[in-house]
A and B are shown apart, each in its own frame.
Chain A
Amino acid sequence: MGFCVTSMQLNALFQTWQSNYYIYAPRIFSGGGRFSDTDCIRYGKIDCVDEIVFDKKSEYSFKEILTPVSQTLFFFTEGETKEADAPKKGAVIFLRSCDLHALKRLDDMYLHNGPADYYYQRLRENIKIVLMGCTHSFENCFCVSMGTNVSASYDMSIDCQPDGTYLVDCRDEAWGQQLEAAGASQMAVVPSHVEENSVTVQIPENLTAEVAKSSMWKEYDSRCINCGRCNFVCPTCTCFTMQDLFYSENGKAGERRRVWASCMVDGFTDVAGGGSYRKKNGERMRFKVLHKVLDYRQRNGYHMCVGCGRCDDVCPEYISFSGCINKLQNAMTEVTEQ
């Protein structure tokens, strides 16, 4: 059911959501940018539609809603463990098409790669999705090449109109009825999506792990500073490390939590006794890139990377992930001719 709605009508809908859901959308964190006096756009709780940033890309993805940066799993006391409580409400999450595709990747990692993850599932079971239309491509986006520019599975879509009204395609029956009752004008709505990006990538058909032997990775030994930002902004990176935290000096009460980990950062592969793998940054870049465009597909049948381009936006060394993908063809030629 499509509607043209005013912000007042939407805010009334938001208010009914609030009794069962937190609403998460990209919003401005004033002064929260990476440089002084700059803002950061990332996911946070919102109360009304005016808070949502439609005209810019969120610098971080939505993933922290489902896989928090630091998530308490359980509490220890002497001889006992107590599972951490689930959030009191579900979540309505505003996602662009690329991020909605990323959600499928999170699902496959947390629910289908090995046994289903308890903590992910209990959050996942109670979310609703609002698809944010994209009227134009942002810098570094390459969703069209990755086939993630269109999404069909959502509870509602939203497009911001120049006159301040919103076009929504409502699939949730109760929400639709409410908008109808509020007098929103009905019309056919198709969420907008981009059909071309200025950045395109081509993943070679013949790509294999042999490409690890190419000299192309050497460049990243010196360029990459293994800060791991690319992993943290990526909507599909899911790695974590366990951490024990204690409240008192005697160490008898505390919690175990999992925190985001990065395959680019030192320590990711360290085993007791001093062993570690992939010491060079170029090797780590290769590991990450091949996970996104090779290994994951071998395991799940489709590519992990969704082409949001956030890794390119955030890299302090101006390393381009899409640029790296486009080097793979020559690299394959290099290793097959050897």
Chain B
Amino acid sequence: MIKNDYIPFPSRILEVIRHTEIEYTFRMEFHGTVRPGQFFEVSIPKYGEAPISVSGIGENFVDLTIRRVGKVTNEVFERYVGDTLLLRGPYGNGFDVSDYRGRDIIVMAGGTGLSPVRGVVDYFSEHPEQRGHMTLIAGFKTPHDILFRDDLNRWEKNMDVILTVDCAEEDVACHVGLVTQYIPQIQLGDVRNTVAVVVGPPAMMRFSVQGLLGIGLPEANIWISQERKMCCGLGKCGHCKIGDTYVCLDGPVFNYTKGKFLAD
């Protein structure tokens, strides 16, 4: 008999890291291999299941950065260290850091889009010898929405970090404006040897990719990650299908040569 992939396993909450009022990172007990960009189906009985991408990977744990915006995630926020959540996964292809090794790297992240790429940025922050010049442009709605502040400070030490917010009512220590505005500031070497990873809300991704193509990056050097409703993560439920592609099986990470054809 084959494996029953639908039955979740309980995972203990090891730590809760608070970023903003509505965004926490839950450090979950997990033994197994995971790649950045992959996701888990997180569930709480009675409230349902939701796909959440991995924002950090360590020995015997995974980080899930969760935004309190839905039925399941609201309930997750009522759970504390020592409580358990039910998980299934990991699912999806995730990012392959070997695609970016030895090249100049640009990462553009919008809001919670920073979660799935956090592992990639971390990897190349810790292994600067494996890459050329690196730029991270991270955009958030307001200064109150900034995630991973400690990481941003840490990353700043060995890469260009451009932190920006769409709007701010008071004086802030970061830039104000959309991420696309800062594309001209990227210190650009040979575009053929430059790769880019773009993750965020649909409009942010669309315009960011346009901007990167505009400065000469080839399509094949750009990767995006898609977010869709998913009820199974196993290529069955149909909610994440776009054209002939299942985001849960074939993605969520797509090279732009494939990703550009994904039209809902």
Contact = CB atoms under 8 A, between A and B. Distances in A.
A246 B46 contact: yes
B70 A115 contact: no
A119 B239 contact: no
Contacts of A109: 236
Nearest to A74: B7
Interface in B239-264: 239, 241, 243-244, 246, 248-249, 261, 263-264
B58 interface: no
B234 interface: yes
Contacts of B73: 272
B244 A119 contact: no
A243 to B, nearest CB: 7
Nearest to B201: A275
Interface of B is mostly: loop
A209 B243 contact: yes
A270 B45 contact: no
Interface residues of B, number: 45
A272 B69 contact: yes
Contacts of A83: 4, 7
Given A79-B10, A114-B236, A298-B244, A271 B228 contact: yes
Contacts of B5: 115, 117-118
A246 B263 CA distance: 37
For chain A, give the interface size range. Answer: 35 or more
A296 B238 contact: no
Contact of A212 (B237, B239, B263): B263
B227 interface: yes
Interface in A266-318: 268-275, 277-278, 283, 287, 290-291, 294-296, 298-299
Contacts of A122: 1
Contacts of B261: 209
A274 B227 CA distance: 13
Contacts of B243: 209, 290, 295, 298
A273 B229 CA distance: 11
A113 B236 CA distance: 7
18 contacts: A114-B236, A115-B3, A115-B235, A116-B2, A118-B3, A118-B6, A212-B263, A242-B49, A244-B46, A246-B45, A256-B45, A258-B231, A269-B228, A269-B239, A270-B229, A272-B70, A275-B201, A291-B241
Interface of B: 1-8, 10, 43, 45-50, 67, 69-73, 84, 201-202, 227-229, 231-232, 234-239, 241, 243-244, 246, 248-249, 261, 263-264
Interface of A: 73-74, 76, 79, 81, 83, 109-110, 113-119, 121-122, 209, 212, 238-244, 246, 251, 254, 256, 258, 261, 263, 268-275, 277-278, 283, 287, 290-291, 294-296, 298-299
